[in-house]
Amino acid sequence: RRTGREAGAATRRPGTAERQVGALTPFLRSSDTQIAQQAELALRVASKRLPILVLGETGAGKEVFARAIHDVGARRTRPFVAVNCGALPEALIESELFGYAAGAFTGARKHGARGKIAQADGGTLFLDEIGDMPLALQTRLLRVLADGEVVPLGSDTPVRVDLDVICATHRDLVQMVADGTFREDLYYRLSGATFEL
């Protein structure tokens, strides 16, 4: 019986298999059996358009793993846009994610700005430290995922987006759901496939 890696490589065109698997190679060759198994699973789900949740402590390589999944998936030639939800002040994260229309707030650019969600259209949006996202923004993100459109700040006009979403966190989201600090519906929407590093 072939492993997921062998089966995946066998179905790809010659010349591209090595490059496509290459992004996950360090994980596939890991001496840590669990990480190697997670990489095998990642190869199988990378092209299935599932929302992906990556769990692990700070420094575990969650963003590197997320980018590797993007690089072996069907959208590997499209943008990979990363946002660290824990590194942005709450006052800025909304405009950074959703963008804004001209004149949306004092100091806004004259012609507005595209947010990270719109920038990821056609590709992959990576939301690092999703557990740090404020509840109000969790609701807005859920609407984006459900409706496939984003409404910039100060605008009433939705913008269609088609993207894959990978999220990562070091937090216990199940406990956060129980505590009421993370939306249960968003948690289930984001965890189509879950990986632990």
CA distances from 119 to 52, 82, 113, 160, 179 (A): 19, 10, 10, 12, 33
Each residue's pLDDT expressed in tens, for the chain with a length of 197 residues: 444 444 444 444 434 444 456 677 777 777 778 888 888 888 888 888 899 999 999 888 899 999 999 998 889 999 999 999 988 887 788 889 999 887 666 666 666 789 999 999 999 999 999 999 999 999 999 999 999 999 988 888 899 999 999 999 999 999 999 999 999 999 999 999 999 98
Residue 188 burial (10 A CB sphere; 0-12, 13-18, 19+): exposed
In the chain, domain spans: 48-196
- For the domain 48-196, what is the CATH superfamily, name and number? P-loop containing nucleotide triphosphate hydrolases (3.40.50.300)
**The tokens of 163 are what?**
């993207």
Inter-residue contact 38 to 196 (CB < 8 Å) = yes
Residue 186 burial (10 A CB sphere; 0-12, 13-18, 19+): buried
* H or E element in which residue 195 lies: strand 193-196
* CA gap 42, 1 in Å, rounded: 19
Q: Give long-range contacts, CB 8 A cutoff, 24+ apart: 172-175.
A: 173/53, 173/130, 173/131
